[in-house]
């Protein structure tokens, strides 16, 4: 689900009894920063989400190298920056066949020191991340013709603050990609964090017992546990996380 950040902010303010009738303890930018920080923290506790991109990239004619897309607007919904989580499945558009993931060392052993790159339909691939976080890869054999590839990939969470500065938009235009359960965990975690920063005068004014922050965090933990279980169940049902797929065990490296 895509939930507007401003709705998360409103729920946090209600938890903190931040009403227009009172002097606010936190201005909107402070609340938004707390939400953004909590969002990254909670997402790090959850399994990486999956993204399917049709014809995400092409292995060029006569080439055995490729680069995964650095612009994935379907995922970020903002500046297009993407950070991969590490799980990849690559499908050739031409045949519908999935390439077999292996290590660079294994790929070289399959090639067996052949100096001239054999060209055919790619069958194996490996990937690595460079310092700029671009994901590069090689395949074997090389592509006899240009091969468009569909991509299934795990994606790390966005930092919603990256959206700010794009055109005339501000944080009111940002959306967070969370389920209903995870969104409520985000509200609870953020509210607890802000509550712990309040001075006693503000707590007295709002008639809030600061001990409730611990209770909110416990609720958030329960919701996160439930959401992680749901995501694992979804991944296991279709094996879209690549578990057990394309490892170096039991692979037939022959031509058959």
Task: Say what the pLDDT of residue 22 is.
Answer: 66
pTM above 0.85, yes or no: no
Task: Say what the pLDDT of residue 76 is.
Answer: 44
What radius of gyration do the chain's Cα atoms show? 23
Task: Say what the pLDDT of residue 130 is.
Answer: 86
Regions of the chain where pLDDT drops below 70: 20-22, 71-82, 163-169, 237-256
- Cα–Cα distance measured from residue 180 to residue 246, given in angstroms and rounded to the nearest whole number: 34
pLDDT, tens digit (0-9, with 9 covering 90-100), for 57-111: 999 999 999 999 876 654 444 455 667 887 889 999 999 999 999 999 999 898 8
- Cα–Cα distance measured from residue 187 to residue 39, given in angstroms and rounded to the nearest whole number: 9
Q: Which among 227, 180, 181, 179 is positioned nearest to 47, based on CA atoms?
A: 227
């Amino acid at each position: 689900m895509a939930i507007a950040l401003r709705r998360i902010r409103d729920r946090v303010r209600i938890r903190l009894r931040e009403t227009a009738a009172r002097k606010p303890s936190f201005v909107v930018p402070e609340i938004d920063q707390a939400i953004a920080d909590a969002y990254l923290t909670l997402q790090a506790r959850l399994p990486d989400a999956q993204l399917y991109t049709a014809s995400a990239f092409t292995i060029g004619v006569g080439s055995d190298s490729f680069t995964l897309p650095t612009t994935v607007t379907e995922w970020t919904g903002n500046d297009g920056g993407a950070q991969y989580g590490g799980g990849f499945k690559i499908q050739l558009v031409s045949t519908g066949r999935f390439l077999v993931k292996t290590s660079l060392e294994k790929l070289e052993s399959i090639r067996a020191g052949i100096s001239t790159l054999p060209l055919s339909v790619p069958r194996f691939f490996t990937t690595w991340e460079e310092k700029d976080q671009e994901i590069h890869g090689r395949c074997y054999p090389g592509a006899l013709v240009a091969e468009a590839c569909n991509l299934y990939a795990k994606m790390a969470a966005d930092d919603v603050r990256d959206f700010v500065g794009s055109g005339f938009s501000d944080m009111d235009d940002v959306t967070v990609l969370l389920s209903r359960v995870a969104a409520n965990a985000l509200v609870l975690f953020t509210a607890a964090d802000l509550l712990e920063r309040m001075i006693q005068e503000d707590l007295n004014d709002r008639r809030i017992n600061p001990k409730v922050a611990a209770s909110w965090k416990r609720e958030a933990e329960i919701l996160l546990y439930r959401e992680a279980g749901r995501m694992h169940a979804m991944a296991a049902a279709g094996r879209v996380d690549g578990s057990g797929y394309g490892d170096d065990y039991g692979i037939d490296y022959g031509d058959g």
